[in-house]
Structure 1
Amino acid sequence: MRIGIAEDVALLRAGITSLLEQYGHTVLWSVSDANELRARMADDQTPELLVVDVRMPPDNTDDGLRAAIDIRRNNPEVAILVLSQHLGNEYAKELLAGAPEASGGTGYLLKERVGRVTDFLTAIDTVGNGGVSIDPKVVAALLDAGPGRGALASLTDREREVLARMAEGHTNEQITKLLHLSAPTIERHISSIFTKLDLSDRRGNKRVLAVLEYLKS
């Protein structure tokens, strides 16, 4: 996979580059500034996936995330995985809200998980292949906020548990192992989730749409 990296911490930037190349990916370029990220995306070497730190120069606030949102508008085919030290904000919700219309995948990963090689590479693969991957801690924080509103309130506890695993980017097969349930049982739960969230007749990736409904709860 062709990847571009935007990370202002030189050591982390070098570490991510080395790890991705070790596992067969091609890092086209790496930048340390959100403005440079925008400039790079105007070049001919457009990556298939962007790994973007939320907090970057020039303002050292959420410059990287805002740049990612701008890039998503102009390059919906580019997958975007953002790295953050925080659980998210309105800009994060805006990026995730655009996921169904974008052909590229979308991910939100806490920086602490970059050091967990398997988790990080799984997120890279999921997002790079057009999926949505949300950090489990972000999902846990959403669960702690209480029962869902609207259509989400109609989900059973088990269905919410399955949806949480979907939000983390797990496949059906992985969910069966995590919840110790059979494949047909998981499929029935997912079908019920789509029906209750009124997604059965909607166009687009229904797993992504379901996750976004979950994130809006």
Structure 2
Amino acid sequence: MRVVIGEDSALFRHGLELLLRDAGHDVVAAVADAPALVEAVARETPDIAVVDIRMPPGGDDDGALAAARIRREHPGVAIMLLSQHVETRHTLDLVAAGGFGYLLKDRVLDVDDFLDSLRRVTAGGSALDPEVVAALVAGRRADPLGGLTAREREVLGLMAEGRTNAAIARRLWLTDRTVETHVRSILGKLGLPASDEDHRRVLAVLAYLRVHAGP
């Protein structure tokens, strides 16, 4: 795979380059700040961008903002965010789109697992650190269904009853394709990582049940 690295620590950046090249991948650019990262992706059109969340010039969430811009301007480029600590700003939209990973930097030390995560993300899947998943769930616990429309809530309620898309379509007098569109929207709005479709439906139903289970 062709890789662009955005990492302001020279030591860590060089280590990533060596690791990826030793694994047979082509590091087409390795840069130290967010503007250079955006330019490198536009110039090289890599398969994946490996991005540190905190980068110059601001040193805050510049890397995450650059990743969001890359996703908007180059949706075919997969993104792997790396961070020293869990930071979930700007993350949910990227998770929902697929081709996205977010790992703590300590995970890179497990080389085989890290390389497997990169391959999975480049193929359109996801790779989320367990601590990131926990933070995302906690951040949405207050009202996880708040972004759903009335119709989407209705569809999710029928999903919670165990009904298939076809059964939901018959119940609501909708076409199968319309129900599929609603289900995709529900999964995206709940920020569920792209993976096996049945698994995502279960997670969506669990979110619904937590809200409606009462005290």
Does TM, scored on the shorter chain, surpass 0.5?
yes
Partner SS, residue 45 of structure 2? coil
Shift in CA distance, 149/31, structure 1 to aligned 2, threshold 3 Å: closer
* AA of the residue aligned to 1:54: I
Aligned residue for 2:119?
Answer: 125
Aligned equivalents of 1:37 and 1:16: distance in 2?
A: 15
Aligned residue for 1:78?
Answer: 77
Aligned residue for 2:181?
Answer: 202
Partner SS, residue 201 of structure 1? helix
Aligned equivalents of 2:183 and 2:61: distance in 1?
A: 29
Shift of 1:155: 9.3
Partner SS, residue 211 of structure 1? coil
Aligned equivalents of 1:125 and 1:3: distance in 2?
A: 11
**Which structure 1 segments of 5+ residues have no match?**
157-191
Match of 1:211 among 193, 196, 200: 193
Shift of 1:200: 7.1
Partner SS, residue 28 of structure 1? strand
* AA of the residue aligned to 2:66: A
Match of 1:109 among 99, 103, 121: 103
Shifted more, 64-73 versus 80-89: the winner is 80-89
Q: Which is higher, the Rg of structure 1 or of structure 2?
A: 2
Shift in CA distance, 65/142, structure 1 to aligned 2, threshold 3 Å: closer
* AA of the residue aligned to 1:23: A
Partner SS, residue 35 of structure 1? helix
Aligned equivalents of 1:58 and 1:127: distance in 2?
A: 27
Kindly report the root-mean-square deviation, in angstroms, between the aligned alpha carbons of the 2 structures. Answer: 3.5
Aligned equivalents of 2:39 and 2:8: distance in 1?
A: 16
Aligned equivalents of 1:85 and 1:193: distance in 2?
A: 42
CA contact (8 A) 1:54 1:64 kept: yes
Partner SS, residue 47 of structure 1? coil
Aligned equivalents of 2:113 and 2:143: distance in 1?
A: 27
Shift of 1:204: 9.8
Number of residue pairs the alignment of both structures matches: 172
Shift of 1:39: 1.8
**Which structure 2 segments of 5+ residues have no match?**
146-152, 169-177, 195-199, 208-215
Aligned residue for 1:181?
Answer: none
Shift of 1:60: 0.4
CA contact (8 A) 2:88 2:136 kept: no
* TM-score scaled by length of structure 1: 0.66
Aligned residue for 1:22?
Answer: 22
Identical columns (%): 41
